[in-house]
Chain A
């Protein structure tokens, strides 16, 4: 993981050529990922392409989480708060301000920016385990606040966003095809943004902070400012995923602010590979189908209590991953393919 920091400096021209090569290869890789996803839509039956739209939105959430966890080395246990602030920033604006979907997306993003700025400002005063507990507590307070204002948010029950409100630039997003390509376009924007970000000077500095905070500080980087910006980018991407979820699937509920939704992105990223651009997508895809198949299997063959216990699989996966594969799929792949972004 630390090769970018510790590698001896090659001469300037070789370095530049290598960077260009890496740049082209990584662009090609990301374009190929998008192309495969487009092809999958035409190959897969409707049930699976519907799932894929959901996976893409959750993968945006995981990519946002990865910016903070994988690249900056900050483990947050409160990202459900950012997801929910995007979701409710979008949903409540539609419900009570009577705005169009495109305006509501902006309010969703703004509320995620605001919430992540405040949380980042406060929580970054702590490090390590304290940072984990503080983010967990803020997310819990946020979840309870949604329940407290149940008159507006409808609490755990949530509210449905009407079909008439789910039209973006003339496209009816209740249609499966529109929904899938809207999710894919959003995913592609976020994927290329993250790929560009981690390749930029700023992204490299984040990795430097992850690998050795004291050294990065000694080299004159403003650690706190970099971390705060990372929290805001990460929170805003997560909020974008929350707003997209409400827009595409027409529902906002307090369960998306509960602690499971802080654990899930961590799980996706750990499984797929922290600190890789495509890891979050792989992790989300794998985990989604693992849960889907086991709950389908158990609801068919086992008593009903079993099918509601899907978090059991998440728990087992977390333990197995921390024990045997802390670097995830893409991390294992990177041992063979060194240039993997």
Chain B
């Protein structure tokens, strides 16, 4: 394959990473934006989504697509409910103190990860996609007779991969509508702006926090259910999305859903393309250092709204 079509294929893969990343990172950003806490266990909620998807599809007999459609609805609901319980019985009890929350969510990370290891096991397990037709892609090749449409061998995608991108875009649009056009969205934004004032106006802040924490985890789980037919469910799969979500949220600016989505597309696409040129380990080193240096030299990108 020539360089052009090759880059095209790489950016298509990048778009899938970006789509899933956008869902996961928006969940993290929402939690930080409204509750002002960093949820280190966010990647584990993502992993739980994938593991539950495997579990549900293997439970339901019949057409493999049926199991998948059940999983995409049920898995995020279970994960969201679990996260709400964690909020109620852990985070609420320590008053959302930023530093203690990090320590507690680190604990939560290990509890979820190791319990999965004990029950689900150390293997990676596949989930079948509901549909998976191969689609060949065209490429415009400049020749002596002007641009010509060619069909390079190997340049292809699947219908499922396109579905992942479309589904992520739809979910993000719905989330944006909920946040800007509904009463519950208004309540969330009010709590984000001034928690005490919201409480003074009769908003049950504890309920809003539980809801936001559950929603954030459910978004991560949803992203994982979408990606699991492409990747595979594995008990350590949560660490990469956690790191990438951190990067996205820090670069995109917190609390802003739009900024997070833009950063997710940027990071997801570059991640796909950069790993073509660097070894994965070096790419990860550069990514972690990027987060550290953005935080050191542009702390307002992350915590600007918190300080006066």
Contact = CB atoms under 8 A, between A and B. Distances in A.
A130 to B, nearest CB: 5
Contacts of A145: 285
A242 B106 CA distance: 23
A53 interface: no
A274 B34 CA distance: 30
A144 B288 contact: yes
A72 to B, nearest CB: 13
A130 B302 contact: yes
Given A125-B296, A140-B288, A326 B107 contact: no
Nearest to A306: B118
A305 B109 contact: no
B110 A148 contact: no
A309 B110 CA distance: 9
A310 B296 CA distance: 34
B76 to A, nearest CB: 23
Contacts of A323: 90, 93-94, 104
B122 A305 contact: yes
A141 B285 contact: yes
B292 interface: yes
A263 B289 contact: no
A309 B98 contact: no
Contacts of A321: 103
Contacts of A134: 291-292, 295-296
A122 B107 CA distance: 27
B99 A318 contact: no
Interface string A311-326: 1101111110111001
A130 B292 CA distance: 9
Given A141-B288, A305-B122, A270 B103 contact: yes
Contacts of B98: 128-129
B193 interface: no
Contacts of B107: 314-319, 322
Interface in B258-308: 279, 281-282, 284-285, 288-289, 291-292, 295-297, 299, 302-303
Contacts of A141: 285, 288-289, 292
Contact of A75 (B99, B115, B297): B99
Nearest to B121: A305
A138 interface: yes
Contacts of A319: 90, 104, 107-108, 111
Nearest to B101: A322
Contact of A137 (B104, B117, B292, B302): B292
A105 B246 CA distance: 37
A309 to B, nearest CB: 4
A128 B99 contact: yes
B42 to A, nearest CB: 13
Contacts of B114: 309-312, 315
A126 interface: yes
A137 B291 contact: yes
A129 B303 contact: yes
A268 to B, nearest CB: 13
B110 A318 contact: yes
Contacts of B38: 129, 132-133
A140 B281 CA distance: 11
**Range of interface residues on A (Cβ < 8 Å):** 35 or more
B102 interface: yes
A123 interface: yes
A93 interface: no
Nearest to B289: A141
A311 B302 contact: no
Given A137-B288, A305-B118, A130 B299 contact: yes
A311 B110 contact: yes
A194 interface: no
Chain B CB within 10 Å — which of A145, A310, A317 has the most?
Answer: A145
A322 B121 contact: no
A270 B3 CA distance: 54
B296 A122 contact: yes
Contacts of B108: 315, 319
A13 to B, nearest CB: 41
A306 B281 CA distance: 30
Given A129-B303, A312-B118, A315-B108, A148 B292 contact: no
Chain A CB within 10 Å — which of B113, B114, B122, B297 has the most?
Answer: B114
A62 interface: no
A144 B284 contact: yes
Chain A CB within 10 Å — which of B90, B107, B297, B302 has the most?
Answer: B107
A312 B281 contact: no
Contacts of B100: 322, 326
Interface of A: 75, 77, 122-123, 125-126, 128-130, 132-134, 137-138, 140-141, 144-145, 147-148, 263, 266, 270, 305-306, 308-312, 314-319, 321-323, 326
30 contacts: A75-B99, A75-B103, A125-B299, A126-B299, A128-B98, A130-B295, A133-B295, A134-B292, A137-B289, A140-B243, A141-B285, A144-B285, A263-B106, A305-B117, A305-B118, A308-B117, A310-B114, A314-B110, A315-B107, A315-B109, A315-B111, A315-B114, A317-B107, A318-B106, A318-B107, A318-B110, A321-B103, A322-B90, A322-B103, A326-B100
Given A133-B250, A133-B295, A323-B93, 13 more contacts: A128-B303, A132-B38, A133-B246, A133-B291, A137-B295, A141-B292, A263-B106, A306-B118, A310-B114, A315-B111, A315-B114, A321-B103, A326-B100
